[in-house]
Structure 1
Amino acid sequence: MSNTSNNYIQKYKMKVFNELVKLAWFGKLEEEIEELPQKIIENIQDEKERKIVENYIRLSMGLDPVKRDRSLREEARQALSLDKVKKPLVSVIENICERCNRFHEGSCPIHSHDCMSTDECIGCGQCIEECSLGAISDKIEFIPVVNLLQEKKYPVFAAIAPAYVGQFDPSITPGKIRTALKMIGFSDMIEVATFADILTMKEAYEYKHIIENNKDFFITSCCCPVWVGMIQKKYPSLLDHMSPAVSPMIAAGRVIKALNENAKVVFIGPCIAKKNEAKEENLADAIDFVLTFRELYEIFNALDIDLENLPEDNREEAAFAGRIYARTGGVSKAVELTVKRLDPRSDLPFKPEAFDGAKKCKDGLDKLLAGEMDATFIEGMGCIGGCVGGPRTINPIEEGSKRVDEYANATPMKTPFDNLNALQFLAQLGIKRYEMLKNNEDEKIRNLLIKNVEK
């Protein structure tokens, strides 16, 4: 288990969530929630401690932590009626802060990060990880997902991030995870790596066009909302060099909904920032809810789903290119392979530079602005190691990276042009020639793969 699961605060918070999953799944949330604090901590010492537990329960239900007196039964009733979880998605439990010396000394993450305000936050989750008492936490969007799965009014698809292959025990194959998700009511599991393949094709065309027209460098914006947010808020002069493409997560949601009327899409990944990205005004049509790998693990555990002994439901969905998006340097390698595949005889230069972790991303962008970097393709990931190092992963970075590479090398499909699944998606959408991906003015391309579409 990982940097998150080994943290005692995370174990405590996940214990709250585990119990909440059982109550919500079996329809006992409103009826039994008042007893939950005592079940979590058998000997609650005082009223302040009880309020801390209650606020963890609120966050696990997708609600804001509060100071005022309001019964958990009332809160459960509100949570059960939610059709969406509202911002802010990262909240501070002030009851905990009151007990913390770092808070009163002005040395806690809330004070030390200038991005804690709503306008500056890039969603990296660093402040959550740095708070040793667990006072800063993100909301969990599970309650409305339960309603979707159990009502069965809509087809609900699980769009799962490429890093997922390195998160469970090696014996837990993609096919077993797909089986488990179908068992709890999802119509299917779709690998977001397939849509990374589609966007790799698009970025390969864009890179080729930019370099052939004597522009100096191209910045990918595919994967990471922390990277994108950092450039938008801190380095706006670089936006002209950035790809206009949406992330694979957003592309997955839009394509699934374009091909499945009334579909709902739940993204599952390693990232807190993806919860914010899914709610951005011009992207909010794509993903209905976001769960993390750690939350998914706890859901399976709470519902006694024995992943190891489930039947296989395997299929090859993504190429090597899309699968390696999960780790640092993966996007660069994917685009480089695809550029070469576009024109094997071309001597087009490809000099990649990949940054991981918020500090390295910032330092790298400073060097880029100062003209101190000889690179033509710039990639950034907000987490060290890339998505395999996300704040809601299960396994260590090294293990996640190793297994992502093994999974990528296991497929005979090397570039997106080898991926018949991706090409079939494009054909179903009316994109019948690869070259159409170059045209950002094409209505289909704009609606599905481009940011800032006017609605």
Structure 2
Amino acid sequence: MRKFESNVQYTKYLVNKEIAKRYINGEKLEDVVDDIAETIIPGPEPLTRCCIYKERHIVKERAKFAIEPLEGDNVIHILTSACDECPVDRYVVTEACRGCLAHKCHEVCPKDAIMIVGQRAYINQHMCIECGRCKDACPFTAISDVQRPCLRSCGAGAIVIDTNKKAYIDEEKCVSCGACVYQCPFGAIVDKSYVVDTLELIKNSEGNTKYKVYAIVAPSISSQFTNAKIEQVINGIEKLGFYHAIEVALGADIVACHEAKEFSETIEERQWMTTSCCPAFVKYIQKNYPDLMGHVSNTVSPMIAIAQMIRHLDDNCKIVFIGPCTAKKMEIKEDDIKGIVDLVITFEELQAMLDAHEIDLTKCEETSLDNASYYGRLFARSGGVTEAVKQAIDVLGIDTNFEPVKCDGLSEVVKTLKVASMGRLKGNFIEGMACRCGCIGGAASLSHGPKDVTEVDKYGKLSKEENSVQATRILEIEKLDLERKYKM
């Protein structure tokens, strides 16, 4: 049994594992939701909540969200029954209040929620709308801001607190990065699981005779299953019933070459260009800076590039992406690329599927990797895309001025885009990553440690190919449609 980073992650894993086991055993999932909850929460004592009945109810809600078809488009969902333990009084007057004469906090409050009693300020929490004006106005900084983890983690500002002090997602702002999923300490925010859909896709292939099911694996997998060799992990994935597992890093090599050419051909007109491999980053620009979409690279993501290559070679196939990214679950629904990748599952879901099938990676044989380059594999970490595009420019002999700006996480993206929108960008190429440290910091990663960067570099050095141009030399890239057609 692997050690999980938190009980939230462990519970998420247990739900997916139980669902996978029941599906494999041929049980009707809709009929065993109660049993799944009792298996995970056996009682008689509760583990984290007030009672086992509430804990079981939350597990049932998790299981239903995993089993039932998705309602709406957003793959991120809040379990309202689980969202009740965070502090609800965001702004509180502390002992630092000096009882000043100005009472600026009272004057700026739009709801008259601040009372002055004995020269001391108090906030009526029933009237407070959490606008924060009182905190900004207080000359003694005597008003504390106890911000919920979900609010603090969301760089897109998509988490909103309703009148009942419950969190909900503003879908007009959400970019599906999953930061709130990872940061919620009570597991109240979840991403849609596609474990059942994937198992069904494999089962219906009838042993890959009706159609072949390919797994395309993100390069960040190198930091996730460190108890086994990467070649054993690939073998374990194929044991789940996939026809073949292919590394997305080869798609990254395709993207690096294409994006290098796109940069050189369009930078004079654009003035500056951004990457396009992170769907949450692109979605943030679409929703907040639509006028800047002309600066976003038109090159498809590595996931789409390698999927197109597979479909070019085998038109009777289904493709499942495996990675750390919840936003990929939204990307495959985009109108211009819909149907290229059939499903997306995360590393968390992969672990659950492996254990449900009782596959021990440490005992698996070693399956050889595809020949992606060192640079293609570096796409997994922050700065890797920049390095890959830079080497492609050099190897292809492109004469252009390449001045990159790297954004490590959505908070840096927000700042950089504000500067760029005002025409003050100090550079001409923005690498945008919604997750800190890049894809290895993805919300659905099994591990989020600093050691992950080292693991990616080690994985890259295993490559037999020196650069992206060499790695893609035998591929018929010209036959692929590598251009996005964004909805403006």
User: TM-score, length-normalised on structure 2?
Assistant: 0.78
Distance 1:103 1:92 in 2: 20
Distance 1:252 1:52, change over 3 A: same
Q: 1:56 aligns with which of 62, 65, 79?
A: 62
CA contact (8 A) 1:127 1:136 kept: yes
User: Could you tell me how far apart the structure 2 residues matched to 1:412 and 1:295 are?
Assistant: 30
For residue 322 of structure 2, give the secondary structure of its aligned residue in structure 1. Answer: strand
Which entry has the higher C-alpha Rg, 1 or 2? 2
Cα offset for 1:159? Answer: 0.6
SS at match of 1:37: helix
Corresponding residue number in structure 2 for 1:165 = 222
Q: Give the equivalent residue in structure 2 for 1:120.
A: 173
Residues in 1 aligned to 2:27 and 2:89: alpha-carbon distance in whole angstroms: 37
Report the CA distance between 1:62 and its aligned residue.
4.8
Paired amino acid for 2:13: M
CA shift for structure 1 position 131: 2.2
The match for 1:42 is: 42
Output one character per residue of 1:262-295: Cα deviation in whole Å (capped at 9) or x when no partner: 3110000001111111122222211111111121
Q: 1:59 to 1:205 in 2, by over 3 A?
A: same
% identical equivalent positions: 31
Within 2, Cα distance between the matches of 1:33 and 1:238? 46
Contact 2:33–2:63 (8 Å) recurs in 1 = no
Equivalent residue number for residue 26 of structure 2: 27
Counterpart residue type for residue 352 of structure 2: E
Partner of 1:5: 4
Name 2:355's counterpart in structure 1: 301
Of 301, 310, 320, the residue aligned with 1:256 is 310
Q: Specify the alignment match of 2:88 in structure 1.
A: 102
1:317 to 364, 371, 392: 371
Q: Is 1:244 paired with 2:298?
A: yes
- Unaligned runs of at least 5 residues, structure 1: 65-84, 432-443
Aligned partner letter, 2:36: L
Measure how far apart 1:371 and its partner are: 3.3
Q: How has the CA–CA distance of structure 1 residues 43 and 199 changed in structure 2, closer, same or farther, with 3 Å as cutoff?
A: same
Whether 2:382 is the aligned partner of 1:328: answer yes
On the 8 A contact 1:62/1:140 being kept in 2, the answer is no
SS in 2 for 1:96: coil
CA distance in 2, matches of 1:411, 1:242: 30
Q: Which has the higher contact order (CA 8 A, sep 6+)?
A: 1
Asked whether the equivalents of residues 336 and 350 of structure 1 are also in contact (C-alpha less than 8 Å), the reply is yes
Cα 1:303/1:342, change in 2 over 3 Å:
same
SS of 1:245's equivalent? coil
SS of structure 2 residue aligned to 1:261: coil
Amino acid at match of 1:149: I
| 3-state SS in 1 of match to 2:170 | coil
Q: Greater helix share, 1 or 2?
A: 1
Q: Could you say what secondary structure the match of 1:163 adopts?
A: helix
Query: Would the alpha carbon gap of residues 46 and 176 (structure 1) be closer, same or farther in structure 2, given more than 3 Å must change?
Result: closer
Per the TM alignment, residue 255 of structure 1 is displaced from its structure 2 partner at its CA by 2.6
Q: 1:111/1:220 Cα in 2 relative to 1: closer, same or farther (>3 Å)?
A: closer
Q: Secondary structure at the match of 2:82?
A: helix
> C-alpha distance in 2, partners of 1:262/1:317?
23
Looking at structure 2, the residues matched to 410 and 175 of structure 1 have their Cα atoms a distance apart, in angstroms, of 11
Query: In the aligned structure 1, how far is the partner of 2:179 from the partner of 2:464?
Result: 37
CA distance in 1, matches of 2:13, 2:334: 27
1:247-266 alpha-carbon deviations (Å, 9 max, x no partner): 11122223322321231100
Q: Which letter does structure 2 place at the counterpart of 1:51? A: H
Q: Which residue of 2 aligns with 1:193?
A: 249
Residue identity in the other structure for 1:216:
Q
* Residue 426 (1) aligns with residue 476 (2): yes
CA offsets, 1:192-233, max 9 Å, x none? 11111111111111112234x465322121x10111011111
Contact 2:332 2:340 in 1 (8 A): yes
**Cα distance in 2, alignment partners of residues 383 and 390 from structure 1:** 6
Moved over 4 A (4+): 98-101, 103-113
1:396 CA drift (Å) = 3.0
2 CA distance for matches of 1:188 and 1:255?
14
Partner residue of 1:93 out of 79, 85, 90:
79
Asked if the contact 2:34/2:60 (under 8 Å) is kept, the reply is no
Matches of 1:111 and 1:309, distance apart in 2? 43
Tell me, what secondary structure is at the counterpart of 1:95? coil
Q: CA deviation at 1:380?
A: 0.7
Instruction: Tell me the residue number matched to 1:80.
Output: none
| From 126, 136, 144, the counterpart of 2:197 | 144
Instruction: Give unmatched runs, 5+ long, in structure 2.
Output: 45-50, 91-124, 131-146, 159-168
Counterpart-to-counterpart distance in 1, 2:448 and 2:85: 31
1:423 partner SS:
coil
CA distance in 2: counterparts of 1:194 and 1:203, whole angstroms: 14
**Residue-by-residue CA offset, 1:368-424 (whole Å, 9 max, x unaligned):** 2233332122101000000011111122342221111112123242222211xx333
Partner of 1:374, secondary structure, is coil
**Structure 2 contact 272–427 (Cα < 8 Å) conserved:** yes
1:363 corresponds in structure 2 to 415
Q: 1:99 to 1:395 in 2, by over 3 A?
A: closer
1:179 shift after superposition? 1.4
Q: In structure 2, do the counterparts of structure 1 residues 343 and 386 end up closer, same or farther at CA, with 3 Å as the change threshold?
A: same
Residue type matched to 2:374 in 1? Answer: F
Q: Are 1:62 and 1:142, in contact at CA under 8 Å, matched by a contact in 2?
A: no
Q: Find 2:272's aligned residue among 201, 212, 217.
A: 217
Give the secondary-structure state (helix, strand or coil) at the position aligned to 2:405: strand
Shift of 1:243: 1.1
Report the alpha carbon displacement of residue 451 of structure 1 after superposing the two structures with TM: 1.5
**CA–CA distance in structure 2, aligned partners of residues 393 and 99 of structure 1:** 25
Asked if residue 386 in structure 1 is aligned to residue 438 in structure 2, the reply is: yes
Report the Cα offset of residue 29 of structure 1.
4.0
The 2-side partners of 1:364 and 1:298 are apart by 38
Work out whether 1:181 is the aligned partner of 2:237: yes
Secondary structure of the 2:22 match is: helix
1:226 corresponds to which residue?
A: 280
TM-score normalised per structure 1: 0.83
| Alignment partner of 1:400 out of 437, 440, 452 | 452
In 2, the alpha carbon distance for the partners of 1:404 and 1:373 equals 30
Post-superposition offset of 1:318? 0.3
Structure 1 residues 128 and 314, CA gap change in structure 2 (3 angstroms)? same
Cα 1:139–1:343 shift into 2, 3 Å: same
Flag the 1:359–1:99 CA change in 2: closer, same or farther, 3 A. Answer: closer
Q: CA deviation at 1:309?
A: 1.6
